[in-house]
A = this chain, B = another copy of it.
């Protein structure tokens, strides 16, 4: 089961696909898309077109298997291979020290000289709304979530609270 072209570079998108396939057992790109939309979106976006392209790349690398419907839509269904599961687990077992960027458009505007007042108002509102969504989700389904997902959601809530605080201060000052 070795000897495959094991030389692709795996990006975060790759691991998202691998990780979601590990949970789902198997899935079509469209199913991946719905899972992404209902879980990871908001803290890590993946374009739906990527969910068609990336599994193909991974299939070429032997990390997932591809099965195509005979009739009709000729849907493709993907599942992890042993090599894929290994790659995922190797990555998961090696805690990253990398920390991402903040990359908030609002903060960029502030940095580049926008008026703090109106910007703070818009941003506080937007973050408050996002926070409310997270809180609602946490309250309704938090109990049945897998650990990783719930923890990530809680991180999102903590950060959004911080942003609301931050912009509120600027709003009152302006």
Contacts and interface: CB of A to CB of B under 8 A. Distances in A.
Interface of A: 12, 15-16, 19, 22, 39-40, 42-45, 88, 91-93, 95-116, 118-119, 121-123, 125-127, 130, 146-149, 151-152, 154-156, 158-159, 162-163, 165-166, 170
A130 B99 contact: yes
The oligomer's copy count stands at: 2
A108 B44 contact: yes
Contact of A116 (B99, B106, B151): B151
Nearest to A126: B97
B111 A40 contact: yes
Contacts of A108: 12, 15-16, 44
Contacts of A122: 95-97
A130 B98 CA distance: 11
Q: Which 9 A-B pairs have the closest CB atoms?
A: A19-B112, A43-B102, A95-B122, A95-B119, A111-B152, A92-B114, A100-B104, A97-B126, A100-B103
